[in-house]
Amino acid sequence: MADQVDSMSDAELRTKLAEHGFPIMPITASTRKLLVKKLKLVLDNKSKPRASVDNKADTRRSLARYSSGEESDLDTTANAKEKRGRRATTGGAMLPPAANKARRPPPKKGSPAKRDSDKGSESDEEKPVRTHEEVETVTTRTIKRTYAANDADDYETGSDSDVDADKKTSSPFRSNSRSSDYISSTLPNVDVNISPPKTSVFSRASIIPTNYSSTYSSSMTSSDNLNSIRSRLGLTSSLADRPTSNYTSNYSTSTYQPSTSTIDEVESPYLSNFTRRLSALKSDPPKPASSFLDRDANNGSTVLPRRSYITGVNRSDIVDYKSATDKKFLKNNLVSLALVVLVALFFFCLFFMYIVKKNDITSVVDDQNSVIPICQLNIPGNRPGINCVPKEQVSYAKDLLKVIHPELTSRIASYKCGQVGTLPYLTEREIIDIASAKADTHDVSQCRTDLNNLQVLLINNPRWGLNVVQLKNLYTKDVEYSPIASTDLIVQQRTKGTVAITLSDPSTPLSCLFVNTLYSAGSSLIVVALLTLLGLGLQRAYKYYVMYQKRKSEEIYSMVEQIIDVISQETEDSGEPYISVDHVRDTLISPQNREKMASVWDAAVKFIQRNESRVRMEVQSVDGEDCRVWRWISAHSSPKRSASWQGQAFETQEGSVNNLVVSPTPCLKIRHMFDKNDDNPLLRVKIQDAILEKCDTHCNILHIDIDRTSCCVYVKCASPGDAGVVYRSLHGWWYEGRLITVKYLRLERYMQRFPTSPSTGPYLTLTRHSRRGLWPDE
C-alpha cells in the first residue's frame, strides 16, 4: 500500500485524499510529500483493523467458491474485475516482474502451506490452526476441506481462528509490503487473461491442480489426501473446461505466480474494497439484502449483473465483519464479565443471608447451644425464676420470647424511625399484657412466671440478641437504660418495676434508614439551597447597587457636561459673564422631571462647585434679586489673568531688592513690551489697555506712548507715588513671552520727548473693548 501511495500520480493522490475526507488542495512539489505522508498515515490506521476482516471475508469467499464448484466462476470473475479496477489505480506502481521474481525465492514447501492457510484454514472452523502445525496436519485439513466443500453454509460461522492463522504464518507471502509486489508481478498475466471475462477464474482453477499436484505429491504419501485432491482436481478442472493453452503455459512457466494471484484476492487491500463499496453503495443503494439473496439463489449462474454481484459480495463482507466483531468482543471480555457477575452474586448472597438471619429468632432460640439453667431440686441455691428455670417451663418462656420478639422488633423499628411516643423496649407490664392478649388467657401469674424465666434465659444467653435492662427513670419519656448482667439485680429491680427487655443490637429497617437519610440529606440540601439563595441574592443586590451607582454617576456626569455647555454657550451669547443656576436648571430639565431629577441636579451642582475650574459659583444680583450664579471663567475672559500677563519673574513687592522705597519721578520707561517688527496699528491702544488693566484702578496715569524704534513704552503718571505703583505692577513681569523691565525717567527728559503730554487729568481709562474682556484677537 505504502509503496503504491508513493508512486501515485498527483490526480490519483488527490482522489484518494478526497475519499478519506481531506480537503482537496493543490498538489505541488512542496505539498506532495506532506500529503503522501498524510495519506499513508490514514491508510495505515484504517487498514490495520480492516485488512484482517477483508482477509477473512475474501478467504471465506474463496472457500465458498471451492465448496460449491460453479460459484467460483463468479467470484473469481469479480476478483478479476476487482483486480482490473485496481490495476487502473496502480498502473503507475507497476514494477518489472523480473525483479520481483528475483526478489522472492519460491520456497517449495512454503507455497502449499501458504495455500493451505489461504484457502484451507478457513475450512477448519472448529480447529484453530497455528502455522507451525500446518504442515503436519495437512492430512486432516484436507479432509476437512472436502467436508467443508459439502457444507457450503459453514463459511458464515467462521471463527476468528482463521485470521489468527493468517497472521501467524511466517510465510513471506503474508507480509503486506510484499503483496503489492506480487500484485504487480501478476498484472501482466492478468492483462492477457482478462479479455474473456472468466479467464482469471481459469487461471486460478488451473493453478490449483499444478500446485497441488506438485506439492502434495512431494510432501504427502497419504492416499486419502491424494484422493481428496483428485476429487478437488476433478472439480476444478471441470470448471476450467475452457482454458487455452496460452494460459496454461503461462502458469507452468512460473509456478508461484498463480499463487500470488490468490494472495492478491485474499489480501485485496482495504482501500480498493472500500472505494468500490463506496461507489457501489452510492450508485446502487437499495436492496442489498435482495442482491445478497440473489447471490445465494444464483449460486453458479455466470450471468449475474456485475453490479448487483459486487454489492452482494460487499454485503457479505459487512455481515462477516459484524458477526466477527461481536464474537470477538464476547470472547475478549468473557473473563471480566464472568468476574463481575460472580462478585455481584456473592454480594447478593451475603445480603440475602444477612436479611434471613436477622429475622430468624426462632432458630436462634431453639439452638442447641443455648445455655439453659435448669432448676434442680438437689442444688440448694436454685430459685426458679431467679437464677434457674424449671425444666417444664423452658418452652413456655421461649414461646413468650417468640411472641414478644416481633412486637419488640417493630417497636424498636418505629422508635428508630423517629415516631413520637414509642420506646425502644418493652417493660414487664407491657410484656405481660401482650402475652395475655396473645394467649387469650388472663392468667397473669403464669405470664409473670414465664417472664421471669425468660429473663433468666436472656441473661444466660446474650447471643440471643436481647438484653434485660434497667430503666433509669420510669415515668419520663427519656430512653435511658443500663443493661443488667446478673439475675440478682433483676430481682431488685423487679420490685421497682423498672425492668424491661430490649434488643441488644437494634437494626434500623431499610425503608426507615432510607427515609432518615432522605430527611437529613433534604434538610442539609435545604440549608445549602437557602445559603446559596442568600448568597445569590446578596450578589445580585450588590451588582444592582453597583449598577445603580454607575448609572447615577453617569447621569451626573452627563448633567455636568450639559451644564457646562449651557454656561459657556449662554455667557458667550449674552455677553454676561455669569448665568443664574436656576436658569440653567430650568433650561436643561423639563418641568415634569425637575422633582425627580433634583438629586442628580444637586449632585451635579456640587460636582461643578468642587471639580470645575472654569465655572465659579457666586452670588450676584440679577434683576434686583440675589441669586446664585455661575461665572464662566474662560481663559481669555479673565480680567486679572489675561493671556498677555504671564506671571512674575521676580519679586517687586515692598522690602524686596528690586523695589525702590521712594519713587523719584512720575515718569517711567518700559522696555520689551513689544517687538520691533510688531506693526499692529492699534499697538498703542493695546499696550495702554494692558498696562491699565494690570495696574487696575490703583493709580492715575496721564499719558502713555510708545517708541517703535527703541521698543520702549513711556508712561507719565499723575504723581511719583502712582509711578511707584505702576513700577511695582509691571517690573519683572512676563508680557506675551517677554520679560518687562521698568525704569524711572526724569520728568524733563519725558517732557523733552513728549512736549504735548498732559500734566493734569483726565486720567486714562480702559477702552471699551478691554473692559468687556473681548479683545480683538491680538
Q: Is 421 in the site for other proteins (CB under 8 A)?
A: no
- In terms of Cα–Cα distance, which of 678, 654, 657, 681 is closest to 736? 678
- Taking the least distance from each CB to other proteins, the nearer of 30 and 336 is 30
- Taking the least distance from each CB to other proteins, the nearer of 44 and 554 is 44
Q: Is 237 in the site for other proteins (CB under 8 A)?
A: no
Q: Is 18 in the site for other proteins (CB under 8 A)?
A: no
- Taking the least distance from each CB to other proteins, the nearer of 38 and 416 is 38
Q: Which cell is 272 given? A: 480498493
- Taking the least distance from each CB to other proteins, the nearer of 39 and 764 is 39
Interface pick for other proteins out of 9, 18, 26, 238 (rule CB under 8 A): 26
Q: For the purposes of burial, counting CB atoms within 10 Å of the CB of 273, is it exposed (0-12), middle (13-18) or buried (19 or more)?
A: buried
Binding mask 239-268 for other proteins (x = CB under 8 A): ------------------------------
Binding mask 31-50 for other proteins (x = CB under 8 A): x-xxx-xx------------
CB of 528 to other proteins, least distance (A): 35
- Taking the least distance from each CB to other proteins, the nearer of 36 and 93 is 36
CB of 26 to other proteins, least distance (A): 5
Partners of 713 in the beta sheet?
670, 706
User: DSSP letters of 454-495?
Assistant: HHHHHHH-GGGSEEEEEES-SSSS---EEE--SHHHHHHHHH
- Taking the least distance from each CB to other proteins, the nearer of 37 and 109 is 37
CB of 642 to other proteins, least distance (A): 47
DSSP helix/strand/coil, 616: strand
Q: Is 21 in the site for other proteins (CB under 8 A)?
A: no
Measure the CA–CA gap between 142 and 115, rounded to whole angstroms: 12
Q: Is 684 in the site for other proteins (CB under 8 A)?
A: no
Q: Give the binding range for other proteins (CB under 8 A) out of 28-36, 618-626, 642-650, 669-677.
A: 28-36
Q: Is 594 in the site for other proteins (CB under 8 A)?
A: no
CB of 18 to other proteins, least distance (A): 13
CB of 6 to other proteins, least distance (A): 15
Interface pick for other proteins out of 10, 18, 25, 330 (rule CB under 8 A): 25
Q: Is 541 in the site for other proteins (CB under 8 A)?
A: no
- Taking the least distance from each CB to other proteins, the nearer of 30 and 760 is 30
Nearest 10 degrees: Cα torsion 25, 26, 30, 32: 70
Interface pick for other proteins out of 11, 21, 23, 285 (rule CB under 8 A): 23
Q: Is 737 in the site for other proteins (CB under 8 A)?
A: no
Partners of 632 in the beta sheet?
615
Q: Give the binding range for other proteins (CB under 8 A) out of 6-14, 18-26, 227-235, 494-502.
A: 18-26
- In terms of Cα–Cα distance, which of 712, 775, 724, 774 is closest to 749? 712
CB of 28 to other proteins, least distance (A): 6
Cβ-proximal residues to 118 (8 Å cutoff; 6+ apart), any chain: 59, 62, 166, 262, 263, 266
With both helix axes pointing from N to C terminus, report the angle between 199-219 and 223-239 in degrees, rounded to the nearest 10. Answer: 170
Q: Could you tell me whether strands 667-671 and 645-648 are parallel, antiparallel, or unpaired per DSSP bridges?
A: unpaired
- Taking the least distance from each CB to other proteins, the nearer of 33 and 552 is 33
The number of residues that bind other proteins (CB under 8 A) is 11
Interface pick for other proteins out of 9, 10, 28, 340 (rule CB under 8 A): 28
With both helix axes pointing from N to C terminus, report the angle between 199-219 and 71-90 in degrees, rounded to the nearest 10. Answer: 110
Cβ-proximal residues to 243 (8 Å cutoff; 6+ apart), any chain: 202, 203, 205, 206
- In terms of Cα–Cα distance, which of 264, 270, 325 is closest to 46? 270
Q: Is 10 in the site for other proteins (CB under 8 A)?
A: no
Q: Which cell is 231 given? A: 476429487
CB of 30 to other proteins, least distance (A): 6
- Taking the least distance from each CB to other proteins, the nearer of 28 and 333 is 28
- In terms of Cα–Cα distance, which of 475, 476, 467 is closest to 500? 467
- Taking the least distance from each CB to other proteins, the nearer of 44 and 602 is 44
- In terms of Cα–Cα distance, which of 397, 568, 549 is closest to 468? 397
Q: Is 299 in the site for other proteins (CB under 8 A)?
A: no
Measure the CA–CA gap between 402 and 523, rounded to whole angstroms: 39
Cβ-proximal residues to 520 (8 Å cutoff; 6+ apart), any chain: none
- Taking the least distance from each CB to other proteins, the nearer of 44 and 696 is 44
Backbone angles phi, psi at 467, to 5 degrees: -125, 145
Residues lying near other proteins in the complex (CB under 8 A) are found at: 23, 25-26, 28, 30-31, 33-35, 37-38
